[in-house]
Amino acid sequence: MAARTTRREARERIIRAFMDSLDQIIPPDESAPLRGQTFLDWERQADALRRAVVPTVLQERAALDGGAEVAAGQCGKCPRCGSGRIYLDRADQQPQKEVISPHGPVVIVRQHCRCRDCGRSFSPSGS
Q: What is the pLDDT of residue 45?
A: 97
Q: Are 15 and 56 in contact (CB under 8 A)?
A: no
Q: What is the pLDDT of residue 31?
A: 96
Helix axes 39-64, 7-25, angle to 10 degrees: 170
Q: What is the pLDDT of residue 106?
A: 82
Q: Indicate the domain borders of the chain.
A: 7-122
Give the dihedral sign, CA 46/47/48/50. positive
pTM value surpassing 0.95? no
| Residue 46 bridge partners (DSSP) | none
Helix (H/G/I), strand (E/B), else coil: 109: strand
Q: What is the pLDDT along the chain (127 residues), one digit of tens a residue?
A: 456 789 999 999 999 999 999 999 999 999 999 999 999 999 999 999 999 999 999 989 888 876 666 666 677 788 889 888 888 776 556 667 778 888 878 887 777 788 889 988 877 765 4
